[in-house]
Amino acid sequence: MKLPAETRCGGSLFRWGGRTFVMGIINLSPDSFSGDGCSSLDSALQKARQMAGDGADIIDVGGESTRPGAGAVPAEEELRRVIPFITSISHDIGVPISIDTCKPVVALQALEAGACMINDISGCNMDPGMLKLAARKDVPIVLTSNQRGQVTVNIVEAVISQLKDLTGRASAAGVRPENMIIDPGIGFGKTVEQNLEIVRRLDELRVLGRPVLLGTSRKSFIAAVAGASAEQRALGTAASLAIGISRGADIVRVHDVSRMKLICRMSDAIMGRTGEG
């Protein structure tokens, strides 16, 4: 199935197929799995500006850890963490901001503060109202396949089935097709072997006709294979992204924008992508 030609996100236009886009990660939670949570608003703003300077195409900010077993964060605390950052940075760096949250009330205030994309790793299952919000605000939304709490044998088939259902629900809620971005949900309820299989077979998600976001950066399956040190995780992340791009990833979500931007540029060149977008 053919991808939509383009998706508008704030003042940016993402033209799919020309190159791989880079989404930089800003964690405003103190218990981030990767250990990169920003301790202050100033440090988060400085990091975001650095990412923009390094070539990030979008910045994804979250105020609640998504690691397995992380405690729930009340909406009020999540808002306290993310809204000052979005308010301060959204009109400052010329890069669109995505809000990483499962709570529509947080997403709404983030959009009103200047964010222009929603990234809900729950697959919009925590609150189906997230789909209606994305439709009402007419913003792109990342639709994630999340298998936490499930036992899954045929993982790629399960991911495709779940994402097909999710895009159908999004369409029924009024989300325009060009505003749907799909994410196979690396690390969310998958084993090490299943995560590896998803990257290897990522091209099979093309049947859904949506841009694919790949988020492997520093995740535990990389540590299990490549080693747990920062440098080992970085090199393992780079390998997973190169393979993922060769299999059709359109956006990669990363902690280290400067180095992973180079991986994207080289992978795109090998794949014959023009660099437009």
**Within 13 A of 45's CA, how many CA atoms are on the CB side?**
13
Which residue out of 47, 103, 210, 219 is catalytically annotated?
219
Residue type, 37: G
Residue 120 host element (H or E): strand 117-120
Residue type, 223: A
Which segments of the chain does DSSP mark as H helices, in order?
A: 41-53, 75-89, 104-113, 129-137, 155-173, 192-200, 220-226, 230-246, 257-271
Whether 164 is a known active-site residue: answer no
Phi, psi (5° rounding) for residue 203?
-60, -20
Dist CA 3 CA 127 (whole Å): 27
Whether 219 is a known active-site residue: answer yes
Of 243, 237, 200, nearest to 218 (Cα)?
A: 237
Of 141, 92, 151, 105, nearest to 121 (Cα)?
A: 141
Which residue out of 47, 190, 253, 261 is catalytically annotated?
253
Residues comprising the chain, all counted:
277
At 35, is the secondary structure helix, strand, or coil? Answer: coil
Dist CA 66 CA 72 (whole Å): 9
**Residues labelled as active-site residues:** 219, 253
